[in-house]
Amino acid sequence: MSGLRVLMMAPGDSIHSKRILQWVLDDGCEVVFVDRTDPMPEGHERQRLVSYPQLKGRRHLRRLVGAAAERRLADLAIAAQLRRLSRVVRPDVVHVQPVGRAAYHCALAGIRPLVLTVWGSEVNEHFAGESDAWHRRMVSQALANADLVTVDSPDMPGKCAELAGCRLRVRSLVIGIDTSLFRPGYDEEAQAWRRRLDIPGSTKVFLSPRAFAPKYNQHVILQAFAQALPRFPAQAVLVFKTYGRHSYPESVPYEHDVRRLATELGVSQSLRWMTEVAYAELPALYALADVVINYPTMDAFPVTFLEAAACERPVITVRLPAYVGTFAEHYFHLVDPGDLAALSAAMVEVANAYPARAADGLAEARLLVEREYDQSVSRARLRGIYGEAAALCSR
């Protein structure tokens, strides 16, 4: 892959974008990264930032022609700017993630070879009744015009094909983890977290590590915890990570609602709140946890699973189509969606079993993650996907 020219479009502030960018640069590629946020503000000799195109005067244009026409004209103008950029860069591969507005603009521009990476939410929302017809058409057209689509869960190829209305070239690409970073241990760091959060040493810690947004059902996790609390043999706390405010504007009012619910349930003293932590600090956070909880409404395959398994932490998760057929079915405690009593009972069961049965399957799960989901494996898969995409347009 060394020497390939890559035109990459992704959120510059996302850890997923930054990690894939770093892999590509480490493999010797030249990258033009298109976004309004620089993923590498410290700079890199083979990476150049280009600000994402925009059409000036859109507000005035909207008054003249109406909202629908203004949006269409803006999309065409931005696509034309991207087409000109592509002619200058002459990329071997165009890689866009997730499948949103940038992917649609690339489809309009006819830029190839186009690799789209699905993150899940941009596809799942169309099957949950959470998007409008225009947004569905935008995602559908982007998918239909892709040369390759990468997904990370077994249910995603069918959903993508249904949205696109045609067969797609789909490849599996799970954004793996650094298993030398995510591993058992970090005992001293975990104790430091306990002191920082005022958690006594004998207290069971439940960690809900997903973004603080309604679709991750933090309020349901709270309700189940409140029901389970009297049945724990020792004290217990539930730790929430209050992050995601850039991606989920609704997270702030949602946090207020969850805090109010905790007061109504009488469990506020058993909650701990923390802001987003640096990526390198996440393993210590898993070391703090006795049990990891995951209960979204819809999902792709979350990196949370890989991180928790690599750290040998038990996980309670909702049973979703995206998880069926993955290692989560074998190594995690799955409960059906919408069953609050089952989630609460699982908390009691898993907490009471840990750490006495900590070795049951957890070490095996880590070995599987090392073998199949280490970032070196993902990086090799991405290398193959880029090579395949470049070859498609050189025939």
Residue 237 and residue 162 share a domain: no
What's the one-letter identity of residue 26? D
Residue 101 in any domain: the answer is: yes
Residue 77 in any domain: the answer is: yes
Residue 182 in any domain: the answer is: no
Residue 90 in any domain: the answer is: yes
How confident is the model at residue 394, as a pLDDT?
Answer: 64
pLDDT per position in the chain (395 positions), as tens?
678 999 999 999 998 899 999 999 999 999 999 999 999 999 899 999 999 998 776 766 676 767 777 778 888 999 999 999 999 999 999 999 999 999 999 999 999 999 999 998 888 888 877 678 888 999 999 999 999 999 998 899 999 999 999 999 999 999 999 999 999 999 999 999 999 999 998 899 999 999 888 999 999 999 999 999 999 878 999 999 887 655 677 778 999 999 999 999 999 999 999 988 888 999 999 999 999 999 999 898 999 999 999 999 999 999 999 999 899 999 999 999 999 999 999 999 988 876 555 556 899 999 999 999 999 999 999 999 999 999 987 65
Residue 192 and residue 170 share a domain: no
How confident is the model at residue 114, as a pLDDT?
Answer: 97
Element (H, E) at 241: strand 236-241
**The token pair that represents 146 in the structure block:** 């892709």
Residue 379 and residue 365 share a domain: no
Residue 341 and residue 234 share a domain: yes
Q: How far is CA 225 from CA 8, 270, 313, 377, in A?
A: 42, 10, 18, 37
Phi, psi of 268 (to 5 degrees): -55, -35
Residue 198 and residue 161 share a domain: no
How confident is the model at residue 361, as a pLDDT?
Answer: 84
Residue 55 in any domain: the answer is: yes
Residue 205 in any domain: the answer is: yes
CATH of the domain at 283: 3.40.50.2000
User: Which residues have CB under 8 Å from 68's CB, separation 6+?
Assistant: none
Residue 226 and residue 148 share a domain: no
Q: Which domain holds residue 79?
A: 5-176+374-392
Residue 262 and residue 152 share a domain: no
SS3 14: coil
The number of distinct structural domains making up the chain is 2
Are 292 and 315 in contact by the 8 Å Cβ rule? The answer is: yes
Residue 181 in any domain: the answer is: no
Residue/partner pairs of 192-195 with CB below 8 Å, 24 or more apart: 192/284, 193/284, 193/285, 193/287, 193/288, 194/288
Residue 130 and residue 273 share a domain: no
Residue 197 and residue 158 share a domain: no
Residue 345 and residue 329 share a domain: yes
Residue 53 in any domain: the answer is: yes
Residue 34 and residue 19 share a domain: yes
3-state helix, strand, coil in the chain (%, to 5): 50, 15, 35
Residue 228 and residue 127 share a domain: no
